[in-house]
Amino acid sequence: MLRLVRETCLATGQCTQVIEAGAGQIPRTGAARVSARFVSADGIRILQFGDDAIVFNPISWDAHLLNAAAVEVLVLLAEVPRCIDDVVAFLSETLLAAEQADAFEHAQKLLHEFELLGLVRRLKDEPLAGC
């Protein structure tokens, strides 16, 4: 069977895939948070179709249906490695005012899901000024 579509529904704050909290998630505070940086996986292919996009993972050969905000984050992570605060700042611009308080949770879930899907990888921990 085709492992094709997993949706990340950022705009509503809902994820169709349940992401378990715990190991692998990014701590809200502390040294580990400071050092976590992410970058898009090498060779991913993105097909943009209006508000949605299909992303192809060249390692797993899976394709994923993502909404516009999720794709924007993926593109952001392709430019240079980013920490979660960068992603939170980026999402804060796209989320409605009422949702902005949840920006960190959105970013955390999204990065974790991207990691699970192999669309981003976490760089080796290193101190990073500004994050």
Q: Are 63 and 54 in contact (CB under 8 A)?
A: yes
Binding part of the chain for another protein, among 2-10, 88-96, 98-106, 121-129 by CB under 8 A, reads 2-10
Closest separation in Å from C-beta 46 to another protein: 10
54: contact with another protein by CB under 8 A: yes
Task: Give the distance, in angstroms, between the CA of residue 121 and the centroid of all CA atoms in the same chain.
Answer: 10
Closest separation in Å from C-beta 116 to another protein: 19
Report the alpha-carbon distance of residue 20 to residue 114 in Å, rounded.
13
Pair of tokens at residue 117: 């899907």
Binding part of the chain for another protein, among 1-9, 25-33, 85-93, 121-129 by CB under 8 A, reads 1-9
